[in-house]
Structure 1
Amino acid sequence: MSDFELLPPADMSHMISTREGPLHFQDVGTGQPVLFIHSFGPQPGVTAWMIFHRVLREISTSRRCIALDMPNFGLSGPIVYDEPFHDVVVRSVLSLMDHLDLDEVPVVGTSMGATVALDLAITAPHRVSGLVVGSCHASTGGDPYLLGPFPSEVQRLYDEAQLHPTDLTHTVRLLKALVYDETVVTEAMVSAIQAFRDSRLGHWRAVSQSTSRAHSNLSALSSIGIPMRIIHGRFDRMVPFEQALMLMSYVRHADVTLLNQCGHWPAFERPVAFSSIVEEWLDSNHW
């Protein structure tokens, strides 16, 4: 996986101003629009392009793919908040959809982006036609685990990395724990992410000054009636795959795909399989 890319080409990169601060997004391809919301990781060094660029290059051959950097990630933000973080991102998504004149779209989210997608479908169900989610909790602050420890190993490493944002050692430990195959965490990838973090410490300060209030969405999950697919990595050390089964138990029409030899970032680590599943799901629902 030597084709690591952190930021998109200039012609795919766009910025808008919103109530939630500057919002950066990528817009590539033509056809039916699909919205992508990216994963959790070291802030602000995880971007939508980094997580999804291999997927976007495949799916954009037949569809319009829009992927945003969540506030305080990538080129979006910085912003200080005191509320459930996923609610902040939901408003950002709706602002972006309004800007692009998109009334309703299927949403592909993974990790933190999947929690946002679920929150969006609960908050504004008329704006979401379908969901691909996974590697996620349903709720801000997390959901109870039956088997795995809480907080998870990766959550602890993330907290340590946030305390030491310029320390390369903590960034490397976090990145290697987010994937199954540690060899994908190359020197070039680490250098690019750390340099980006070092250059945007305002994002780190905004997160440090913010409070994400816990809020459970579990009781609302059964209200989701739109098509939904769940994709989860078998070796996810951030959100154990039991959470995929939990989501399926609340949304009974949702199918689960468990990707072997995959950690917390399926779209990054298994892009061919991820793209194939998403395309099949989009085709089957005539989007």
Structure 2
Amino acid sequence: MSAELTAESTTRWVTVDGLKLRYHEAGSGPPLVLLHGSGPGVSGWANFGANLPVLAEHFRCLILDQPGFGASGRPEVYDRNYLRIAADAVIGLLDQLELPSAHLLGNSMGGAVATLVALEHGARVDRLVLMAPGGVGVNALGPEPSEGIRRLLDFTVEPTRERVLAWLRTMVFDEQILTDELIDNRLAAASDPAAIAALRDAYATFANPAFAEQVPLWARLRTLRNQVLMLWGRDDRVTPAEGALLPSRQLPNADLRLFGRCGHWVQIERKAAFERAVTDFLTDGL
């Protein structure tokens, strides 16, 4: 199966609210929507393409490029919080594919989107996997924004190879993962003016008081009844691991797994363990 699962062979398209969105589809079984994080050159495939062969053995995997990222279109104007724009895209994807519900797996910003979808469309979400999710953890011990977010913002101001490398270094525990090919591919994708504009505009909505949520995600967690698995790298410099403490106590049906020798990219640095944890959690009791 793995030889057939290329970015090209799995590419599909769907139109939601006038936006043409790309997603990658493979496998059969319970539907699993995978939501990438933010950052220079990010896409659904960049985040989860390497995990697809294993996960597609158990699930109908749908890896979405969220609006403005990867090859997906974006609204002309971001007129509300980006998390809501992305959450509507997830529901639109389920509607277009005629899926009454699905498991959601979200990394970083994608974890925030998955949480928002579950909070406001609970019947459409089965189980949740949140991997170092944004907006859900509370970093009580370190500075805000975190080192990783500061390096990301630096890149959006001046998109150079040095700055994308500085950002990538905050994402991992073992810098040997950062090959020249990976760096060059990320820089090429991130240097597209449209991609830079989309990233800047999405982040601008988070800082705009007019788009602020009345109640932040972390303060709503007690009302989320779905079964949740949280995965966190012990050495995460983007969403530090101590941020997991509050949601692990507030979420009524949550488990937390902490991975040593691992930064923000659990799915890459602890690939096999990540895939086992996700598969075991989503198939338990079925």
Identity %: 29
8 Å contact 1:155–1:238 — kept in the other structure? yes
C-alpha distance in 2 between matches for 1:253 and 1:202: 40
Letter in 1 for 2:17: R
What does the per-residue CA deviation read over 1:146-189, in whole Å, with 9 as the maximum and x for residues that have no partner? 11111100111011000112x11111110111111111111001
State the partner residue of 1:61. Answer: 57
State the partner residue of 2:171. Answer: 178
C-alpha distance in 2 between matches for 1:85 and 1:32: 28
Mapped pair 1:201 → 2:198: no
TM-score computed with the length of structure 1 as normaliser: 0.90
The change in CA–CA distance for 1:221 and 1:40 in structure 2 (over 3 A counts) is: same
**Matched position secondary structure for 1:77:** coil
Letter in 1 for 2:14: I
C-alpha distance in 2 between matches for 1:229 and 1:75: 29
C-alpha distance in 2 between matches for 1:66 and 1:25: 6
**Once the 2 structures are TM-superposed, how far is the Cα of residue 120 of structure 1 from its aligned partner?**
0.5
State the partner residue of 1:25. Answer: 23
Mapped pair 1:150 → 2:144: yes
State the partner residue of 1:235. Answer: 235
C-alpha distance in 2 between matches for 1:52 and 1:230: 17
The change in CA–CA distance for 1:257 and 1:209 in structure 2 (over 3 A counts) is: closer
8 Å contact 1:136–1:243 — kept in the other structure? no
8 Å contact 1:38–1:109 — kept in the other structure? yes
C-alpha distance in 2 between matches for 1:109 and 1:144: 17
8 Å contact 2:106–2:133 — kept in the other structure? no
User: How many pairs does the alignment contain?
Assistant: 273
State the partner residue of 1:217. Answer: 217
- Which of residues 73, 77, 82 is equivalent to 1:77? 73
**Matched position secondary structure for 2:278:** helix
C-alpha distance in 2 between matches for 1:243 and 1:281: 22
What does the per-residue CA deviation read over 1:60-83, in whole Å, with 9 as the maximum and x for residues that have no partner? 112211110112211112333132
Deviates more, 1:217-226 or 1:77-86: 77-86
State the partner residue of 1:3. Answer: none
Deviates more, 1:50-59 or 1:270-279: 50-59
Give me the CA root mean square deviation: 1.7
Which runs of 5 or more structure 2 residues have no equivalent in the other structure? Answer: 206-210
Q: Give 1:1-287 correspondences, 5 Å limit.
A: 8-19=6-17, 21-42=19-40, 45-79=41-75, 80-138=77-135, 144-165=138-159, 167-198=160-191, 200-209=192-201, 211-212=204-205, 213-215=211-213, 216-286=216-286
The change in CA–CA distance for 1:137 and 1:246 in structure 2 (over 3 A counts) is: farther
**Once the 2 structures are TM-superposed, how far is the Cα of residue 144 of structure 1 from its aligned partner?**
4.5
Which runs of 5 or more structure 1 residues have no equivalent in the other structure? Answer: 1-6
C-alpha distance in 1 between matches for 2:115 and 2:57: 26
What does the per-residue CA deviation read over 1:111-133, in whole Å, with 9 as the maximum and x for residues that have no partner? 11111110000111110011010
**Once the 2 structures are TM-superposed, how far is the Cα of residue 209 of structure 1 from its aligned partner?**
4.4
TM-score computed with the length of structure 2 as normaliser: 0.90
